Structure 1
Amino acid sequence: MTHRPSTEAELAEIIAEAQTPLRITGGGTRPIGSTTAETTLSTAALSGVTLYEPGALTLVAQAGTPLSEIETLLAGEGQRLAFEPMDHRPLLGTKGTPTLGGMVAANVSGPRRISAVGACRDALLGVRFVDGAGQVISNGGRVMKNVTGYDLVKLMAGSYGTLGVLTEVSLKVLPTPETSVTLTAAGLADSTAITALSRALGAPWEVSGAAHLPTAGLTHIRLEGSAASMRYRAERLTGHLADLGAFTANFDTEETATLWADIRDLRPFAQAPGHVWCLSLRPGDAPALVASLPETEALYDWGGGRVWLRDASETMGAAIRDAVARIGGHATRLRGTGDIPAFPPANPVVARLEQGLKSRFDPRGLLNPGLMD
């Protein structure tokens, strides 16, 4: 059974009257993890931009609004969602439509996460959602200075619908840079590449992408900004890294956009079989961790702080999670199934906090039960 409410009031009524758990979905493009709920509640019909003020860099839209609609609207004003949300469809083989609410619920953030713009949650200004008791809750506002009350805005980002069902989101948007350039070096060893990326990120030339693709043997660094400053910044950064590798600059903006969209959407893994894991760890730990798992293939993003790992054998899940946990990182299975949960277990302190929040916002355990356990 599937519920598709078209208004916030209808959604609240469905949750208030629900007697069995609900599987919360948006556009159906990101089926990560599993829940025991058999009844589906989709927010896809809650669609439409309710406010867009280009001069104030502010956009408000309902949770089911397709991201493509939002991106087209922003592009018409020379603006964008700066945190570069990933499109999971190529990797996961899904056919749905990415939505604003699904993006926020999963805190989807791409290669530009390592720059000053931050993650999806850093662009959030306000949210409206319905909790597990059927109550409509509004938090935050439509301007960055609104910091009153509890920061439920940040809490909802990355909660995967387990604390509440988003109905409306307010976001900060940013101007699209005039141009971009990619610096590329070939043949760097993983450890050397991560050293180069870390050095680049620590330099004053505003790197907005830092990735290493071992299978292709390529290391990429992205710069964005005004055309007047681009050549100077690229030359200075190339010289800054000269002792680690011979980086060459590609000033074709369209080619740079295509390259980083492929990295963002994990297209190198899209057609290759096997489970895919998302690892969060210290960049300096990444090369040794990958080397300790020889049956896997890696793609390093965020300067090595995010490692995408493909397990072609589909048998390395326990070894991956144990190896990452030993160095204080986290491993989430993005694609594939197995005996261990997709999401990593929380430590006891965090688990108690999560349970307290769950008891407060979903006391009946209706919303995506078991998804993040």
Structure 2
Amino acid sequence: MLIGIIGGGAAGMMAAIQSRKCNAEIQIFDANTDLGRKLSATGAGRCNISNQHANAKAYFTDDGHALGTCFEAIPNAKVLQALEEIGIPSAASEDGWVYPLSYSAANVVDILVNNLQGISLFHNTLITDIQKQGNGFLLFPSDRSKPHPVDKLIVTCGSPANPQLGARGELYKALEDMGHRILPVRPALTPIETDPLPFHKLQGVRLDAEVHLLHGEQEIAATVGNIIITQWGLNGPGVMDISHFLDPQKSEEYSLRINFAPRCADGLRSALANPALQNLSPTTLLKGYFPAKIVDFFLKQTGLGQVNACHTLTPQQKELLLKATRDQRLRVKGVRGFKFAQASVGGIPLAEVDPSTMESRICPGLFFAGEILNVLGPCGGFNLHWAFLSALLAAHGVQSAITS
């Protein structure tokens, strides 16, 4: 029995390690010289491997019920246990983001690779076509060399996100030819480009904000998180987490409404009314809540930059100032694309996969794991958690298929 795995990333390596229990020969085919290239760059090099708040409702997918079945089959603690059993213990930060105790993505990749002893690794082997052969499959490399026959196949080759790290998304056509639908693949967890005005002097400002994505006047999505103002638009989890809702063909129809005071609006209102603070200038008072650059922006926008003391502000002026902190609008120009995307949305519909085994409902013997499936989580370890969770399910599914 020969198990083939296309893709040597987080999902592919975990699927291979867990598939050892099948007592079968295992082969990994990866287009890069080194396995785990995208994994080595995650979490700013610290490798945010999971999140304590990972659950089916936190993800975007075409089949929420199926995703719920996945999470019921393997609880979060079991995913972390599987990682610890191969040498990757972890701990959670106060906000629930889970990191390896080494805080090193390079170490995580090294440990995964060292767990692949006895597994055949085909580096620099880009598989571009798959054909069914009896109960198995033939895998065709891009160099047109001899095809590789396998009995069971796990596809974990990811998406086109981050092409500079070797991502390609090369198998969609082959999988479509095998009978699967391919949902439109779009960049996700990517920065949003906007009109530079009125924030053109605020480059580098970083703060928490509530961001609403509007199509016309209809709200499409909203999130609260850290954002970074840049020369071309907005970066950071606060915008990246909603970037996949943008239709690239209609970018000019979208806008962002930004609340820069999602957690301090009540405190700021109270401060403006506090008798003990009335001799402070609006500049000084606002600097207790916001970075200096954006304070200057608020005051210039409202025409209150020359006011020396809060007690001279009229109630209307105070409301105007509060509104400036809570309601800023930016016209969207587009997203920064796959090159800057951490993930993608689209691909193989989760509805076409058995959620308890990750086996294709279209083609028996074919399994999926990771980003090739239409499952997307927010920033914070959710997508690596899905990679490991789906890999565990696929490995268990292959084992069941072999023994049944």
- The TM-score with structure 1 as length reference comes to 0.26
- Structure with higher Rg: it is 2
